[in-house]
Amino acid sequence: MDLYQTLVENNALNIVTDTREPFPEGAAFFALQGPNYDGSLFIEDARRQGARFLVSSKEVPSSPSCEAICVADTRTALQDLASEHRRRTPIPLLAITGSNGKTLLKDFLALILSETKGLFCSPGSYNSFIGIAKSLLMIKPGNALGVIEVGVSASGEMGEKAKMVKPNYGVLTNIGLAHFEGFGSRRAIAKEKMELFKDIPEDGWVLLPDEPLLKNAAQQLKCKVFIVGRDERLPRLESVQHLQTGKSVLFIQYPDGSHYEVIVPIDGAFPEVCETLFMGMCIAHLFGVTPAVVVGAAKRYRPPQDRMEIWKSERGHLLVNDAYSSDPVSAHACLQVFKDYPSARKIFVFGGMPELGSQKDYEHRIVAEEVSRLNVDILLTVGTLGKLTHQTFKSLKPNGVAFHYDGIEPLLVASEDLIRPGDVIVIKGPHKLKLDQIATRFKAHLSKTAYYIDLGRLEYNIKTWRDHLKPGTRLLVMIKALAYGSDAIQIASFLQQHVDQFGVAYIKEAVTLRQHGIRKDILVQLVMEEDVDEVVRLDLQPVVFDLKIVKVLSEAAVRAGRVLRVHLEVDTGMGRFGADPSRVLELAQAIDGLPGLTLYGLMTHFSSADDSQSDPFSLEQMRTFEKIQEQLKSCGLSPEVCHAAATAAAARFSDSHYDMVRIGLGIYGVYPADCVSEAIRLKCPLALVSKVASIKEYPEGHPISYNRRYITTRKSRIAYLPIGYHDGLARRWGDGWSVIIDGKKAPIVGAVCMDFTPVDVTDLPEVTVGGEALIFGEWHGQRNPIEKLAALEGTIPYEILCRLSERIQRIYLRNRY
Ligand SMILES: *Cc1c(COP(=O)(O)O)cnc(C)c1O
């Protein structure tokens, strides 16, 4: 009898593939095999735990209560089983795939469709090959509709998954970054994802985002295709309003002309989450759910909120505070931060994950395995849940350093002895444990003013740049000037997996990056004779335009027995560095002829690409640069990477991309000038936020701050912010700049002092001491554009960002839903 028949007749379609999972009655244990995993080692364990069947590729004895079945390959057997079950329970099935938001969309749909009788949703984020097979086997003949999440892997597995799932409907949430998903390009991700929908029958449909990369594949589908925002048969998202309360209102017009306002508890900083939820509303419409039901479900919806903050203490501890919520998915996510800091000592402080029910032991063991795999140096656990992880870790690594504490106080005391400057400390635990007190111990966030950098938005900008660039263009990120005032090490650590190369101005900056484990190629703009040995030692890529330094570099490289890649800069009109065009060939030939050097790059720099009036000049610079490329080529010299564009040119002239672009300001979603913002839409991840330190009332006619630059014109309430020109504000911001408190403008009045800034809150009676004031940037849906502030001061945004003093605490955020 075949395997399926046997399992069905014994009511044994409950598949277990990991003996640490709970064994339901009549479970069949599949001993999977992998390159680093042999499930057959756990067969006896499974038998003890009450498995009814043991499916394995090895011959094992049966026992009276437990039948052993031998198959050629357990994974294929599981796949066949799931396919067969799917064939016999042909309920309509919606498959959700996409890079982000799959689980979010599935959970939201479950809520909307909760009145649909017999709805089946795949559990948790069961979206791997095995997870999908197990989910399919959970479908009962009585289910009326199934919703299944399907993950993508780089290996071209989607076709196989599609054959198993056989969806009737499909939805693709979005296409993420190729670099994050291990694909060669976004086009490749798109292609792989669309495989899932290939065999959807004609009476089915697929809902897609408005994404040009999907167009070709969509045309080849047999079923109907709906594109969000483009199809008149779908609801239309007219606008989204983000409220100060952390909610957003979606204004939706239905195809029959009716209008609805749907309120969702999503902060304005996450417009992409609103988009995902709107997709859910479109699906509901296609399934015939009325708008009233959608509105009701949205009201009940609670996103799995999650936020991680990264601080650096004054003594150099790096604290990753992820103690807002604690569950398996976010625990896994926060542990990945260690990968960004390969050379630091790693400490994980863990308070466990509540509310896991029967999965409790299993999930805490999984965390221990991951901690061990990531080579965490010290594991500190607290509480009864944390103990579960401690015990597993000790059994996996008997010599590993791990300490367990029953309460938070002894943990705090011990952490002071254990933690050293330079360590990376990831703190994870349920909110109520208040593990973030550890950060306070290290005085990591005592500063009254914080400069927030949202890494999620940074990631979004990288993706937007990649989409904007000509295919195949390399992306160099300039992280000179402490990454434009944000902190070079943090930004480089975060970006190193996502960009091709870094650039800095001085050798010292490159040394710091290398010291902190940054292995990527680094371009150095200015190299002097005394630097050459360091350049060779750290394998940096110097920019050169002078024969003398070229010779010294060659000698240093030869001394060290290395070959150095150099970039030859041409001055096509910038008037700063670079060789005159008439001398470039001679220099290029010299470099080519010298031992120890490779002419790797040819570069130039625009002087006025941010000024549309000067476009003819910029085009002339490009023409000169191209002529030089030709000239070198005709002499048999072709540098591997030609590059010219910084933010403004890269945004505005696609002809300037050549082989690589060098982006600085544009990573931060800040525009050098208006004409640049017309060419590319980015998100600003930056926010300078201070707290009201004191409030005073004054009668009419009272002078405020130095030199009586402001005299109250009415009875006034003045709030003082603990930030001043020492921190990088300018004295003249009192001549018209307003900070934003609770979504309302509060003008700076009088002169900005060295350490304090007075703002007028007379019209904001609700403002109290401790209230948050957004000085510039974007914060919780409030906007105070840096570009406008620069215009008011008569400077460019670059200057404002770079001026921020070290006194201000930088806090990196990774918000997630
Ligand atoms: C600073 C700099 C850049 C980056 O400029 P942005 O306008 O910030 O993108 C690129 N190339 C060179 C040579 C630079 O000096």
User: Closest Cα to atom 13, ligand 1: which residue?
Assistant: 605
Q: Is the pLDDT of residue 155 over 70?
A: no
Q: What is the dihedral of CA 108, 109, 110, 114, to 10 degrees?
A: 110
> According to the model, what pLDDT value does residue 179 have?
41
Query: What does the pLDDT look like over 632-643, one tens digit per residue?
Result: 999 999 999 999
Side-chain-facing half-sphere of 543: CA atoms under 13 Å: 25
Residue type (1 letter), 509: E
CA dist 676 and 802 (Å) reads 20
d(C-alpha 194, C-alpha 175), whole Å: 11
Each residue's pLDDT tens digit, 745-795: 999 999 999 999 999 999 999 999 999 999 999 988 789 999 999 999 999
pLDDT at 178: 47
CB of 158 within 8 A of CB of 84? no
Which of ligand 1's atoms lies nearest the C-alpha of 577? 13
What is the rounded distance in angstroms from the CA atom of residue 202 to the CA atom of residue 548? 71
Higher pLDDT, 122 or 94: 94
Residues 6+ apart with CB under 8 A from 383: 351, 352, 406, 407, 429, 433
Q: Which helix (H) or strand (E) holds 28?
A: strand 27-30
Say if residues 225 and 205 touch (Cβ distance below 8 Å). Answer: yes
pLDDT for the residue numbered 376: 95
Instruction: Assign 306 a pLDDT band (cuts: 50, 70, 90).
Output: low
Q: How far apart, in whole angstroms, are the C-alpha atoms of residue 774 and residue 807?
A: 17
3-state secondary structure 180-204: HHCCCCHHHHHHHHHHHHCCCCCCC
Specify the pLDDT at position 93: 96
Are 668 and 458 within 8 A, CB to CB? yes
Q: Which helix (H) or strand (E) holds 283?
A: helix 271-286
pLDDT band of residue 183 (cuts 50, 70, 90) is low
Ligand 1 center–CA 452 separation, angstroms: 23
| Cα(658)–Cα(637) distance, integer angstroms | 16
pLDDT for position 244: 64
> Which of 56, 493, 107, 464 minimizes the C-alpha distance to 273?
107
Task: Report the residue among 478, 504, 569, 577 best suited for mutation to probe ligand 1: largest number of ligand atoms under 8 A from its CB.
Answer: 478
Q: Give the DSSP letter string of 617-638.
A: HHHHHHHHHHHHHHHHHHTT--
Number of C-alpha atoms within 13 angstroms, CB side, residue 342? 10
Answer whether 419's CB lies under 8 Å from 426's CB.
Answer: no
User: Residue 756 — φ and ψ, nearest 5°?
Assistant: -135, 155
CB atoms within 10 A of CB 624: 16
- Indicate the top mutation candidate among 526, 662, 665, 798 to test ligand 1's pocket, ranked by most ligand atoms within 8 A of CB: 662
The whole-number pLDDT of residue 180 equals 44
Helix (H, G, I), strand (E, B) or coil at 17: coil
- State which ligand 1 atom lies nearest to the alpha carbon of 662: 10
**What is the token pair recorded at 515?**
């010291």
DSSP assignment string, 508-519? HHHHHHHHTT--
725 noted as active-site residue:
no
Residue 480 CA, closest ligand 1 atom number: 1
Residue whose tokens read 């959700």: 96
Residue 125 pLDDT class (50, 70, 90 cuts)? low
CA 576 to the chain's CA centroid: 36
Q: How many residues does the chain have?
A: 817
Question: In angstroms, what is the span from residue 460 Cα to ligand 1's centroid?
Answer: 20
Sheet holding 259-264, edge to edge: 236-242, 248-253, 259-264
Q: Name the residue with the closest Cα to ligand 1, atom 3.
A: 646
Q: How far, in Å, from the CA of 159 to the mean position of ligand 1?
A: 44
Average pLDDT score over residue span 606-635: 97
Predicted confidence (pLDDT) per residue in 211-244, tens digit: 999 999 999 999 999 999 999 999 999 999 877 6
The answer to which of 447-451, 535-539, 747-751 has the lowest mean pLDDT is 447-451
- From the CA of 525, give the closest atom in ligand 1: 13
CA of 314 to the centre of ligand 1 (A): 29
Cβ(96)–Cβ(171) under 8 Å?
Answer: yes
Measured in Å, residue 503 CA sits from the centre of ligand 1 at 9
Question: What's the pLDDT at 272?
Answer: 78
- Ligand 1 closest atom vs CA 476: 10
Burial class (CB in 10 A: 0-12, 13-18, 19+), 199: middle
706 is catalytic: yes
Distance CA 800, CA 777 (A): 11
Q: Percentage of the chain with pLDDT > 90?
A: 67
> Structure tokens of 138?
């959970």
Is 285 a residue whose pLDDT tops 90? yes
- Quote the pLDDT of residue 817: 55
CA distances from 281 to 106, 109, 110, 293 (A): 12, 8, 12, 10
The predicted pLDDT at position 251 comes to 96
Q: What is the pLDDT of residues 66-104, one digit of tens each?
A: 999 999 999 999 999 999 999 999 999 999 998 778 888
∠ at Cα 261 (257, 267), nearest 5°?
140
Averaged pLDDT score across all residues of the chain: 91
Phi/psi of residue 139, nearest 5 degrees: -65, 135
Ligand 1 pocket list (CB less than 6 A): 478, 525, 605, 646-648, 662-666, 672
